[in-house]
Each structure stands twice: as structure tokens, then as C-alpha cells.
Amino acid sequence: MTSQAQAEPERPRPPASGRTTTAALARAFFSRPSRVAAFLWAAGALAVALVLPLRHWPEPSMLALAIPAAIAAVCAALRATLGERLPRWSLQVDVGLGNLLVSAAAAGAASEHTNLANLYLLVEVFALLYLPLRSALVHVGAAGVAYAIVLGVGPQTGEPPVVAWLAVFGTAVVLGAVIVGLVSVLRAAAREDPLTGLANRRSWDERLEAELERSARSGAALSVVVLDLDGFKAVNDAQGHHAGDRVLQAAARSWQAATRSGGDLVARIGGDEFSVLAPGSDEIGAHHLARRLIDALPEGVAASVGVATWDRAEGASDLVRRADRAMYLAKRRRRRGRDPRPA
């Protein structure tokens, strides 16, 4: 879809700054759970290995520390080399095994009043970041039970067991709440247009593919409505971008109010281009929806509209392209002073 504003020549982009490069590297790292898992396995192995030369450990405690450290090192190597080829569910195995090895290390270190239970936090942070919330909470609960058993039947670290348990899992609860909140905010931000609060292009693409699959299974109708604000570039040029932003926000609010809550999806695709996904709407229903969207616009704001109903054969891009062509046909008719109804 191409708007008037996007038709302007593309301006050269400034070279990427060091800050941008750092952000890109961070995204590349944290977007790959296997890389993060390899790093945390290596960090855990190193943390345990560094404790070994600091004391004269009894043989059982030495084994309880050395074996988990060696297994963690092997897991780090496996994740670093094979991680991308392993199925997603294997992350569950990492978390479960990580909790087991931390429990063994914590039990072994307790004989010398050394507490390695904080390593649980590395495992639980990973679980809360990369596993479904319900699974992550199960793993956190299992780790809490495991550490309670370690404190109940093993040697003591020098502080009351209840205090030791709360120090670790009280921190885990607070840290977990912060992580869950941040992840929720970031996921919403990744799918939401910051100016209008509507779904963004990424969210639109994902929902469109999902609705096409659902419609193919159920046989229900599916339509797309494409909207492009008329004269938007002139508003920006004459009144400034703040005025243009207010127009976009007003249009977004009016279109959200005119669609079915929980059914239709209104998205800002880019610039002054919007799309509405209408599951269950056939061609007649989609044209009625398009008329409601036009009528809902604030006074002084106009838009061109195109409608396309899925023919049950075309792909997502072809469906949107048909609606796009219909919208541009409507725009040409408006410019010629002819019937402005949706095409």
C-alpha cells in the first residue's frame, strides 16, 4: 500500500550509531533462547567451579559440586553448537535439569556453610523469559520445593532454613513479577502502534494469516477493508506534524468505535494507511462496514476505502492487494468528483 506521504523521495538515513549497534547486538542475542541458555549454563558451571579451590571439600561434597559443574559445561557446549536445531520443548528440559543441578550443588556446598542456591535465580529468570507462563511457574514452584527439601534434610548453611529459603525464593517472586510485567509490556509494544494505540503491521500480518487459516477450516467469510486518509500530506505541510498526528489519532478512535469489539481488527499499517480485518463478514457485510467507517470519521476528515472478500484461493498478500486496488480506484473517483463510495 502506498500513501501520498510515502510517495516522497526517500531521505538518506544517517549511519548507525554505536548505541544502535549495541541494541542490535542485544536483540540478536536475547532473541535466541539457545544462546541465552548456553550463556547461563556456562555461567552456572563457572560459578560452581570457582568455589571448588576455595575450601578443602569432603569427598561427597566435592562430587556434589564437580558433577553438576561438568554437566552444566557439557550443556553449555551442546546449546552453543546444536541449540538452534533442537526443538523448542527442549528448553523445558534445560530448566528442569538446571533446577536439579542447582539443588545438588546447593546441598553439596552447604556442608561448608556455602550457599549456592542463588543459582536458582538464573534458571527461573530464563524460564520466565522463554517458557509459557504456566510452565515457568510450575518450574519455579518445583525449584522452591526442591530447595525446601535440601534445607530440610541436608546440612545447614549457617542461617535458619526458613530465612535461607525466603532469601532465595522471596527474591525469585519479586524478580519474577518484574520480568512478567516487563515481558507483557514489551510484547504489547511490539504489536501496537505507539501513536494511535492500534495494532501495527506486524500484528496485522500475524492476525490475517491466522484468520485465513481459521476461515479455511470453518468455511466462514473473511473480508479486508483498506483505508487511506485523503489530503493527509497537505495537513502535515500546512499545519505541521502535530496536527497530522491529531488527525491520525482522531481517525483511529472513530474507527475503533465503529467496528465490532473483539471481532474486527483495526490496524495502522503505516503513515496514513489503515486496514480493518473483518472475520465473518461477506462482501455485503464488508461494504456496510466500510460505509460505517467513512460515516464515523470526524468532521473535516475524509478517507478513500477499498474492500475485498477472500475468494478462498488467494494468499494474504493477494487479498490485501485487491483491497488496495479498490481503494486507489475510490481515491481516483474522489479526485474527479465522482461517487466516493467504497470500491
**Unique residue bearing C-alpha cell 483491497:** 323
Catalytic residue, chosen from 228, 230, 272, 324, is 272
Kindly report the backbone phi and psi dihedral angles of residue 268, in degrees, each rounded to the nearest multiple of 5, phi listed first: -95, 115
Per-residue pLDDT at 78: 94
Fold of 201-335: Alpha-Beta Plaits (3.30.70)
Is the pLDDT score of 40 beyond 60? Answer: yes
pLDDT more than 70, % of the chain = 91
79 close to 38: Cβ distance less than 8 angstroms: yes
Per-residue pLDDT at 226: 95
Angle at 152 between CA 148 and CA 156, to 5 degrees: 105
Per-residue pLDDT at 157: 62
Per-residue pLDDT at 16: 44
163 close to 170: Cβ distance less than 8 angstroms: no
| More confidently predicted of 342 and 36 | 36
Max CA distance (Å), the chain: 92
Tens-digit pLDDT profile for residues 226-255:
999 998 888 887 888 888 899 999 999 999
Kindly report the backbone phi and psi dihedral angles of residue 115, in degrees, each rounded to the nearest multiple of 5, phi listed first: -110, 110
Instruction: List, in sequence order, every residue forming a beta bridge with 222; answer none if it has no partner.
Output: 279
* pTM, 2 dp: 0.62
Is the pLDDT score of 110 beyond 90? Answer: no
What average pLDDT does range 99-108 have in this prediction?
A: 91
Closest to 212 in 3D by CA, of 285, 327, 313: 313
Radius of gyration of the CA atoms of the chain, in A: 28
What average pLDDT does range 72-88 have in this prediction?
A: 92
Q: How confident is the model at residue 15 (pLDDT cuts 50, 70, 90)?
A: very low
339 classed as catalytic: no
What average pLDDT does range 120-131 have in this prediction?
A: 92
Q: Letter for the amino acid at 113?
A: H
| More confidently predicted of 185 and 304 | 304
- The least confident of 3-12, 31-40, 112-121, 307-316 is 3-12
Is the pLDDT score of 48 beyond 80? Answer: yes
Domain ranges (residues) in the chain: 31-190, 201-335
What average pLDDT does range 49-58 have in this prediction?
A: 85
Is the pLDDT score of 60 beyond 90? Answer: no
Tens-digit pLDDT profile for residues 268-305:
998 899 999 999 999 999 999 999 999 999 888 899 99
Q: Is the dihedral of CA 120, 124, 125, 130 positive or negative?
A: positive
Q: How confident is the model at residue 187 (pLDDT cuts 50, 70, 90)?
A: confident
**Unique residue bearing C-alpha cell 576455595:** 54
Q: What is the 3-state secondary structure (H, E, C) of the chain?
A: CCCCHHHCCCCCCCCCCHHHHHHHHHHHHHCCHHHHHHHHHHHHHHHHHHHHHHCCCCHHHHHHHHHHHHHHHHHHHHHHHHHHHCCCCHHHHHHHHHHHHHHHHHHHHHCCCCCCCCHHHHHHHHHHHHCCHHHHHHHHHHHHHHHHHHHHHCCCCCCCHHHHHHHHHHHHHHHHHHHHHHHHHHHHHHCECCCCCCECHHHHHHHHHHHHHHHHHHCCCEEEEEEEECCHHHHHHHHCHHHHHHHHHHHHHHHHHHCCCCCCEEEEEECCEEEEEEECCCHHHHHHHHHHHHHHCCCCCCEEEEEEECCCCCCHHHHHHHHHHHHHHHHHHHHCCCCCCCC
173 close to 165: Cβ distance less than 8 angstroms: no
The span from the CA of 68 to the CA of 5, in Å, is 60
Q: How confident is the model at residue 20 (pLDDT cuts 50, 70, 90)?
A: low
**Unique residue bearing C-alpha cell 535439569:** 97
What average pLDDT does range 137-158 have in this prediction?
A: 86
Cell of 176: 519474577
pLDDT more than 90, % of the chain = 55
Per-residue pLDDT at 188: 75
Q: Letter for the amino acid at 207?
A: R
Q: Is the dihedral of CA 229, 231, 237, 240 positive or negative?
A: negative
Q: How confident is the model at residue 97 (pLDDT cuts 50, 70, 90)?
A: very high
List strands edge to edge, sheet with 303-309. Answer: 265-270, 273-279, 222-229, 303-309
